[in-house]
């Protein structure tokens, strides 16, 4: 009788999804493109319905002081896959990869997905890559399949959502590096692939790494019912796009539940940089491409049922490279993060350890080889609540972000010692990243 009761109890746990698979977790990384900090409901958005992402935040942790490694996309994505400040990778990685850029070279840099693949993970990327470098005929390009992804379906940049053209009139829609013609709204197609991958990987029983770099809500502004592109600044179209992103995210989360792997999966959601003009970056000033808070502060949500307590709010500053270190640690590969610039967030997420004190740094460069342009347009450092910001060769400005999140009151004259110390830390960081940079 006792054995029968035990068997019934185990069966009940399994039926309710309470039994955790042994071994490392699955990892789902969802990356929005140009999403504003204050767009989602859980981040105070007043006009966008985001029930799935709001619930994801409630089921785990919401970071209030998360940052992108850069205010533009390519550098942040390079940081994500290498775990390094993009400045360590050379000048081309401090700006959007354009003509003359070779892209992220798998011979020189072992990317996050490749590390996970070697550790036995199934890997898939569905979405925008944007690390391939220049696209001129005859130039080398490096696509997801060369960086550890077994399957890639997506685009290199940001084409029309339905017709997917590249800038030369061809196709910017690929499957494993080969151009394909598939009808449909691109972000819905990405979710279709992601759902099928989850179903297949769950049946196989191996851990998986699913990376979904959405195109939404980057320009062009084009909702799922808009056959033509809408004008820049059209907030209602932007709202529909973000709501569609939430809906498609809900499909992926439902696929995890339906496959019985929700409790075996670490889900991370963030953005590659701050929002553009149409986004809501409140309560911060500035936008994408700028080092004011609106250009680099991003939403970050982490969920892992049974491991991350629900309803956590974390106000410690974090940056893109922390996701790299966290994913490697969750996969049992902490040693692979040695020498990277990120830190493992799991001790903070689970409440097992306090966050370490550290400074975070940024440098924005305008790098246009075709224009013979290579100039630093901004620098910034944050330590604790204090941020030092310098645009170009202008004077440094100092802000107390706790009291002044909108960066309105420059305290450099009142706090010269603090400003000097932060300026020295920034200069030392610049020397350190430049010393190992790849020109």
Q: Where are the chain's structural domains?
A: 21-350, 359-435
The residues near 232 (Cβ < 8 Å, ≥ 6 apart) are 219, 221, 277, 278
**pLDDT digits over 106-141, tens only?**
999 999 999 999 999 999 999 999 998 766 544 557
For residue 216, the 8-state DSSP code is T
pLDDT value at residue 12: 39
The average pLDDT across 402-416 equals 98
pTM for this structure? 0.94
Neighbours of 140 (CB within 10 A): 10
Per the CB < 8 A criterion, the answer to whether 340 and 83 are in contact is: yes
What tokens were used for 189? 């197609």
**pLDDT digits over 310-349, tens only?**
999 999 999 999 999 999 999 999 999 999 999 999 999 9
* CA-to-CA dists, residue 229 to 35, 213, 362, angstroms: 18, 21, 33
pLDDT value at residue 135: 61
Q: What percentage of residues in the chain have a pLDDT greater than 70?
A: 92
For the chain, helix (H) and strand (E) counts, in that order, are: 10, 15
CA neighbor of 127 nearest in space, from 76, 181, 191, 82: 191
Residue 418 CA to residue 379 CA, distance in Å, equals 16
352-383 burial string, b = 16+ CB within 10 Å, else e? Answer: eeeeeeebbbbbbbbbeeeeeeeebbbbbbbb
Mean of the per-residue pLDDT values of the chain: 92
CA neighbor of 29 nearest in space, from 160, 110, 126, 140: 126
* CA-to-CA dists, residue 122 to 144, 176, 298, 318, 350, angstroms: 14, 15, 28, 27, 26
Which of these ranges, 142-151, 153-162, 308-317, has the smallest mean pLDDT? 153-162
Residue 261 CA to residue 18 CA, distance in Å, equals 10
Size of the chain, expressed as the number of residues it contains: 439
- Asked if pLDDT for residue 392 goes beyond 80, the answer is yes
pLDDT value at residue 11: 39
* CA-to-CA dists, residue 92 to 101, 110, 131, 133, angstroms: 6, 18, 11, 9
Domain 21-350 has CATH 3.90.950.10: no
The average pLDDT across 268-288 equals 98
Class for the domain spanning 359-435: alpha beta
Per the CB < 8 A criterion, the answer to whether 329 and 286 are in contact is: no
- Asked if pLDDT for residue 438 goes beyond 90, the answer is no
pLDDT value at residue 19: 60
Per the CB < 8 A criterion, the answer to whether 246 and 50 are in contact is: yes
- Asked if pLDDT for residue 435 goes beyond 80, the answer is yes
Residue 309 CA to residue 282 CA, distance in Å, equals 27
């Amino acid at each position: 009788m006792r054995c029968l009761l035990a068997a019934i109890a185990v069966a009940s746990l399994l039926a309710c999804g309470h039994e955790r698979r042994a071994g490392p977790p699955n990892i789902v990384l969802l990356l929005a493109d140009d999403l504003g900090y204050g767009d989602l409901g859980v981040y105070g958005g007043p006009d966008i319905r985001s029930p799935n992402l709001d619930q994801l935040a409630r089921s785990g942790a919401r970071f209030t002081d998360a940052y992108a490694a850069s205010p533009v996309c390519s550098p942040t994505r390079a940081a994500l896959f290498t775990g390094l400040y993009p400045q360590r990778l050379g000048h081309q990685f401090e700006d959007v990869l354009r003509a003359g850029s070779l892209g992220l070279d798998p011979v020189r840099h072992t990317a996050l997905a490749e590390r996970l693949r070697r550790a036995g993970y199934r890997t898939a990327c569905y979405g925008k890559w944007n690390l391939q470098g220049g696209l001129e005929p005859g130039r080398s390009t490096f696509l997801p399949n060369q960086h550890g992804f077994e399957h890639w379906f997506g685009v290199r940049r940001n084409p029309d959502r339905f017709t997917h053209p590249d800038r030369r009139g061809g196709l910017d829609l690929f499957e494993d590096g080969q151009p394909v013609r598939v009808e449909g709204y691109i972000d819905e197609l990405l979710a279709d692939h992601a759902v099928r991958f989850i179903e297949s990987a769950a049946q196989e029983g191996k851990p998986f790494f699913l990376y979904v770099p959405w195109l939404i809500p980057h320009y062009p502004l084009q909702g799922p019912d808009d056959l033509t592109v809408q004008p820049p600044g059209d907030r209602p179209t932007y709202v529909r796009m973000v709501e569609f992103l939430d809906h498609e995210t809900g499909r992926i989360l439902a696929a995890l539940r339906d496959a019985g792997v929700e409790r075996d999966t670490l889900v991370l959601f963030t953005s590659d940089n701050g929002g553009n003009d149409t986004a809501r970056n409140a309560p911060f000033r500035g936008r994408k491409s700028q080092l004011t808070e609106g250009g680099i502060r991003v939403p970050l949500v982490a969920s892992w049922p049974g491991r991350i307590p629900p309803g956590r709010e974390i106000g410690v500053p974090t940056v893109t490279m922390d996701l790299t270190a966290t994913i490697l640690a969750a996969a049992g590969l902490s040693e692979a993060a040695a020498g990277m610039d990120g830190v493992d967030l799991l001790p903070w997420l689970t409440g097992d350890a306090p966050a370490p004190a550290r400074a975070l740094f940024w440098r924005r460069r305008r790098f246009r080889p075709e224009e013979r342009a290579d100039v630093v347009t901004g620098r910034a450092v944050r330590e604790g609540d204090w941020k030092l910001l310098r645009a170009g060769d202008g004077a440094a400005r100092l802000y107390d972000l706790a009291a002044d999140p909108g960066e309105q009151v420059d305290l450099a004259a009142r706090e010269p010692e603090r400003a000097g110390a932060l300026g020295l830390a920034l200069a030392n960081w610049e020397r350190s990243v430049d010393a190992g940079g790849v020109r």
